[in-house]
Amino acid sequence: MVDSQDMVKKVFTQKSARIDTNKGEEYYNCLFENAKQRISMLQKQPALKDIDMIDVIESEGINRRDFMKWVSATTATLMLPPMFEPLVAQATELMNRVPVVWIELQDCAGNSEALLRSSAPTVDDLLFDVLSLEFHETLQAAAGHDADRQLEEAVEHFKGKYLLFVEGAIPMANDGKYGTIGASGETFHEHLMRMSKDAAAVVAVGTCATFGGIPAAAPNPTGAVGVMDLVKGKPVVNIPACPANPANMVGVILHFVLTGQIPELDSLLRPKFAFGYRIHDNCERRAHFDAGEFVEEWGDIGAQNNWCLYKVGCKGPMTFNNCSIIRYNEGTNWPVGVGRGCIGCSEPDFWDKYAYERPMANANIKAPTGGVEKTVDEFGLGLLTATTIGIGLHAVASAIAGKKSEQNEEE
């Protein structure tokens, strides 16, 4: 029998960044040629939306130099070598060639809010002005039967070509009657299956759409599930988090425009370029974890000096996301940066398993470096709580599942 404490230790000491960031010269040369052909094909197609990307960014005071800096950063984010930068720039200007249909189901519209909440738009934000967004009931002017007609026309006209973005969980209890849409009373489940049938790919945005999110929290009275539990036989991309970061949405669309394919995914169908990193490994407070310096309670000297939040419940060591790198609100900050621990919102069942700030001081963890000023043995040993064991087992299981998935992909 595997000792549970050893399993938890592995969570904190494993090399979580298992992404193959260098696939070799032959792979990139082949991808480069395919991307060139893809862009050439898109350039011959008429724009679906008569808006020029360069005009948009210049109207917002972003010059060409700033745009190219964004292109360089985005290319690196997508884990592509610098040779792809000119192609990424061209793909950005061709975003209006790919139709997007956005539907909203059982949720709070937080992901749409994340798109709109911008006082000084970044290039990421501006891309949504250029995007050929054929339907988004929260953002569009049409309502009622006019909106229904607009959706039907978009799906019919762009059959097999559009990306279907789904925001919100799908209630399945009571034959799906907890969520209906339109005058016909179509259930969210029926609506999702009909809209996804002719999509090129389905992108689930936010934790509700990916893993059920808060609607699926115990006791889950509506029987909420995520998109991947229902849509089969079609590419599905999960972009979890509450809300999902707009930069990751742009990354998925840009990758599709550039290559005509969805990006490489992990075992939970999350893009590896965004979710291949453990928050803990890139956290600005990581040095304090290694040094054994922790916030013990809110307002203490540790909190005043921005020490590690693990002992007051931060779930960064169990959570995979790039928000510690790209951050929120125009890149200015993120939860840990403002003194609030990660709640693991990009992991399955996060509300039941992670979203609390329960002290975890009894975790028997040894710091990866053995500690700088002192070891973690000095900050608390004892019995592991059942919850902590559960979290550790879940995280280890996820890591093992990811490893198996990678092995299968290699085979």
Please report the pLDDT score of residue 307 as a whole number.
Answer: 95
Say if strands 180-181 and 186-187 run parallel, antiparallel, or are unpaired: antiparallel
Please report the pLDDT score of residue 380 as a whole number.
Answer: 30
Q: What values do phi and psi take at 286, rounded to 5?
A: -60, -40
Q: What values do phi and psi take at 387, rounded to 5?
A: -65, -45
Rounded Cα gap, residues 221 and 88, in angstroms: 45
Weakest-pLDDT range from 150-159, 290-299, 382-391: 382-391
Rounded Cα gap, residues 71 and 73, in angstroms: 5
Rounded Cα gap, residues 240 and 210, in angstroms: 6
Higher local confidence (pLDDT), 52 or 285? 285
pTM: 0.81
% of the chain exceeding 90 in pLDDT: 46
* Residue 323 structure tokens: 């928000």
**pLDDT tens readout for residues 76-127:** 888 899 999 999 999 998 988 899 999 999 999 999 888 776 555 677 777 7
Report, as an integer, the average pLDDT of 191-206. 97
Report, as an integer, the average pLDDT of 160-187. 95
Rounded Cα gap, residues 407 and 363, in angstroms: 31
Is residue 187 within 8 Å of residue 175, measured between CB atoms? yes
- Residue 315: which of 351, 367, 291, 266 has the closest Cα? 351
Confidence of residue 391 (pLDDT cuts 50, 70, 90): very low
Is residue 316 within 8 Å of residue 354, measured between CB atoms? no
Average pLDDT along the chain = 81
CA contacts within 13 A on the Cβ side of 62: 20
Please report the pLDDT score of residue 404 as a whole number.
Answer: 47
* Residue 260 structure tokens: 């005509």
Is residue 236 within 8 Å of residue 204, measured between CB atoms? yes
Confidence of residue 376 (pLDDT cuts 50, 70, 90): very low
Weakest-pLDDT range from 100-104, 107-111, 361-365, 396-400: 396-400
Please report the pLDDT score of residue 198 as a whole number.
Answer: 96
Residue 99's alpha-carbon distances to 46, 94, 160, 236, in angstroms, are 12, 11, 10, 17
Weakest-pLDDT range from 143-147, 390-394, 404-408: 390-394
Annotated binding-site ranges for [4Fe-4S] cluster: 108, 208, 242, 280, 283, 308, 314
Please report the pLDDT score of residue 180 as a whole number.
Answer: 95
**pLDDT tens readout for residues 214-257:** 999 999 999 999 999 999 999 999 999 999 988 898 899 999 99
Name the burial class of residue 105, with classes exposed (0-12), middle (13-18) and buried (19+) by CB atoms within 10 angstroms of its CB. Answer: buried
Annotated binding-site ranges: 108, 208, 242, 280, 283, 308, 314, 323, 342, 345
Report, as an integer, the average pLDDT of 337-347. 91
- Residue 18: which of 239, 272, 317 has the closest Cα? 272
Name the burial class of residue 218, with classes exposed (0-12), middle (13-18) and buried (19+) by CB atoms within 10 angstroms of its CB. Answer: exposed
Please report the pLDDT score of residue 118 as a whole number.
Answer: 56
**Extended beta strands in 223-377, E state:** 224-225, 236-239
**pLDDT tens readout for residues 295-313:** 988 899 999 999 999 888 8
Please report the pLDDT score of residue 5 as a whole number.
Answer: 54
Please report the pLDDT score of residue 16 as a whole number.
Answer: 46
Annotated binding-site ranges for [3Fe-4S] cluster: 323, 342, 345
Q: Which residues of 149-165 are buried (b: 16+ CB within 10 A; e: fewer)?
A: ebbeebbeebeeebbbb
